[in-house]
Structure 1
Amino acid sequence: MTVLVAEDHPVFREGLTRAIAQRPDLSLIAAVDDGRRALDDIHDLAPAVAVLDLGLPGLDGLTVIETIARERLATRCVVVSALDDSATVYRAIAAGARGYVPKTVASADICDAIERVARGQTVLRPEVQDGLADEIRLRRERGDEGPVLTPREAQIVRLAADGYANAEIARELHVSTATIKTHLQHIFEKLEVSDRAAAVAKAIRRGLIP
């Protein structure tokens, strides 16, 4: 079962790749430190499982997961993150992640999760299951089960709400203006709007940005 790891913290990445290398049922084919490279390698190498941190530079983990789902790629995703709040777990699973594992667990448990996801299972650690169930119930009570913005998309809408132009957002986030335009188009599609002002208004109204 081939595995790609995308993690920008070098010590954690090296520890996880060593653990994967010791498993005869797993084969590491790439280890990268940003989301753009992860997505490029997923296109080129088609790993069975991509292990993703959410806070990746370039493209955040949720954007990578959403792109995989939108393009109907065969790679399954496991999120390994220091974030374990219920809203973040919900966004990851809603985006298409097949597993969510806190970084606090042992490397052997992460490898077990990778192997199970590769076999088609969904893996949610006990540490996040109760919070996810509470988040689903809360969203149903509010009548708000979507849309889901990635952390980067929410950040862009927040900056747009603060009056930043596309070029200014690009400089703030250290990406190209074309990347910001692409993110905005995805935001418009999710929120079913056609311009920035409407996107900001709808995102605030739905509580998608602080």
Structure 2
Amino acid sequence: MAQLRRYPDMELRDASAAGSGTVTLFISDTLDETTLTRLRKVVRNQGARAVLVVGALREDELLDVIECGIGAIVWRHEATAARLEQAVRAAARGDGDLPADLLGRLISQVSSLHRDSAGRPGVAAPGLTPREADVLRLVADGFDTAEIARKMTYSERTVKNVIHGLTARLHLRNRAHAVAHAVRAGYI
């Protein structure tokens, strides 16, 4: 937390001040039920965005963290001032920010869930437009908004509108949740 003091445009507050428009930083060596409960309370009940800084995350915990509404995760050993600043700013925008290895694990888990649920009634999700699927593919590949805009020859605003439109329409929390949904539904 002290590392973020070097960014004067970030106001650091006590965790009790969490609420809509704030980003809460959770730091833990491992994820336990107490931490998950606190994450759910802050994100769902208080409307804050959150960044999880964690030492280790088991396979079964990753989806739990995403379900809590966490879109930004930083490995504790990678928690430099610049990395924390990037994650906090991404969370403030509602964007996802996951280490590449976690994004790969998330995609594998969601893909596995999709295969396991294939053919069961009620599992299919509303469709994505080809443009939405293309944008989400690039998000899943780790590209940021500006890079996606350049690759697709759209404005950054258009990319943001595409992501906002599909997250709002499908009631998704953030980019990470949108990618998980798209993989689960078999669109990417």
Contact preservation (8 Å) 1:99, 1:113? yes
Structure 1 residue matching 2:67: 3-state secondary structure: helix
Q: Give the count of matched residue pairs.
A: 116
Structure 1 residues 132 and 56, CA, compared in 2 at 3 Å: closer, same or farther? closer
Q: Tell me the amino acid that sits aligned with residue 22 of structure 1.
A: R
Aligned-residue RMSD, C-alpha: 2.6
Structure 2 residue matching 1:29: 3-state secondary structure: coil
The structure having more radius of gyration, on CA atoms, is: 1
Paired position in structure 1 for 2:92: 118
Confirm whether residue 94 of structure 1 aligns to residue 60 of structure 2: no
Distance 1:92 1:143 in 2: 21
Deviation readout 1:121-157 (Å, 9 max, x if unpaired): 121121311011111112223339xxxxxxxxxxxxx
Structure 1 runs not aligned, ≥5 long:
1-16, 31-37, 145-210
Structure 1 residues 116 and 126, CA, compared in 2 at 3 Å: closer, same or farther? same
Paired position in structure 2 for 1:29: 13
Deviation readout 1:83-141 (Å, 9 max, x if unpaired): 23332222101111121111121422022111121122121121311011111112223
Distance 2:68 2:2 in 1: 28
Structure 1 residue matching 2:25: 3-state secondary structure: strand
TM-score normalised by the chain length of structure 1: 0.48
Name the one with the larger strand percent: 1
Paired position in structure 2 for 1:104: 77
Structure 2 residue matching 1:28: 3-state secondary structure: coil
Contact preservation (8 Å) 2:53, 2:79? no
Structure 1 residues 46 and 63, CA, compared in 2 at 3 Å: closer, same or farther? same
Match of 1:74 among 26, 47, 61: 47
Structure 2 runs not aligned, ≥5 long:
119-188
Contact preservation (8 Å) 1:100, 1:123? yes
Paired position in structure 1 for 2:127: none
Report matched runs for 1:187-206 at 5 Å.
none
Distance 1:20 1:121 in 2: 19
Q: Tell me the amino acid that sits aligned with residue 21 of structure 1.
A: R
Q: Tell me the amino acid that sits aligned with residue 97 of structure 1.
A: I
Paired position in structure 1 for 2:27: 53
Structure 1 residues 139 and 118, CA, compared in 2 at 3 Å: closer, same or farther? same
Match of 2:116 among 129, 142, 149: 142
Paired position in structure 2 for 1:64: 38
Paired-residue identity, %: 20
Deviation readout 1:50-72 (Å, 9 max, x if unpaired): 11135478x7221112223442x
Contact preservation (8 Å) 1:49, 1:75? yes
Runs of 4+ residues over 6 Å off in structure 1? none
